[in-house]
Amino acid sequence: ETGVTQTPRHLVMGMTNKKSLKCEQHLGHNAMYWYKQSAKKPLELMFVYNFKEQTENNSVPSRFSPECPNSSHLFLHLHTLQPEDSALYLCASSRLGTSGGSETQYFGPGTRLLVL
């Protein structure tokens, strides 16, 4: 138990569906992240939020839409996904260091997404 929870743990959706992934951190952190983990590829950073403000969008297609209502919650809204979007989606959180960089990132268990 890392203090970062994600729901749902598994999700199957069609290409026309709209769904949302939820992440919650109980660590008092002020930075949150979405990563995509596909087979045979390194973990890919998708989005970064610092103090609820998006500071990084790593060229992610618009069919992925993040939302960070407060520093403890992070959502990833999904619509009209493609089969190649099937992957493990990981949420992480960290504190921001005094120099502006992040400290250790703690990961949630991930949501295994299958797009049919």
Q: Which is nearer to another protein, 46 or 81 (CB)?
A: 46
Q: Which is nearer to another protein, 40 or 83 (CB)?
A: 40
Residue 71, H or E segment? none
Q: Is 104 in the site for another protein (CB under 8 A)?
A: yes
Binder among 16, 40, 62, 84 for another protein (CB under 8 A): 40
Q: Which two tokens stand for residue 107?
A: 């990961």
Q: What phi and psi, each to the nearest 5 degrees, are found at residue 54?
A: -75, 125
d(CA 45, CA 82): 19
Q: Is 108 in the site for another protein (CB under 8 A)?
A: yes
Q: Which is nearer to another protein, 18 or 26 (CB)?
A: 26
d(CA 94, CA 115): 29
Q: Is 112 in the site for another protein (CB under 8 A)?
A: yes
CB of 104 to another protein, least distance (A): 6
